[in-house]
Amino acid sequence: MARYTRIPGSIALITLMNPPVNALSAAVRQGITDTVGRAVSDPEVKAVVLCGENGKFCGGADIREFAGPMTGPPLIPMIDAIEAAEKPVVAAIEGIALGGGLELALACHYRIAHVKARLGLPEVTLGLLPGAGGTQRLPRLIGVPAALDLIVTGRHVSAQEALKLGIVDQVTDGNIQEVAMEFAQSMSATLNSRC
């Protein structure tokens, strides 16, 4: 599931809810698809913030679904729709953004990480490659050598290293949702002043 909250200041806060790590189950993918669509089509919403419940952004695919047929919205079109949104979309990364969770964050236009967050593409440890655009978006963002290191080793990076590499735009030790909403408002104001 994903909870939709309209915040004063024209921000849509979308919260992923699938404990313990907010994995991208069919219900979560459906929730993201529905709430992002709602936010993008709402003329009062100027920017969107994606976050996770219980101190974790997203732990990636729900591997319990690997054994059966695919249900719910496919991951790649959902992620592509976020990237194509005409309103700023900010990922508020707390705890973890791993695998499909990092790929979800990479599709957002901006990423704010809590100082204790960990990011990575650990699929290789399962004998897989990132399959939801991470092998394209990460190299475009941080360059091929640095991206290749993360993709083929599966290692996690700290928020500070992610900032140094250019994966995230800002690191905070404050309330991640509040910082991300302030950032989203400033990006929206900047974009509107250019129009």
Which amino acids are annotated catalytic?
103, 123
C-alpha distances out from residue 92 to 31, 51, 127, Å: 17, 5, 29
Strand 118-120 relative to strand 11-16, pairing: unpaired
How far is the C-alpha of 36 from the C-alpha of 49, rounded, in Å? Answer: 10
Q: Measure the CA–CA gap between 120 and 186, rounded to whole angstroms.
A: 27
* Cα–Cα distance for residue pair 47/86, rounded to 1 Å: 9
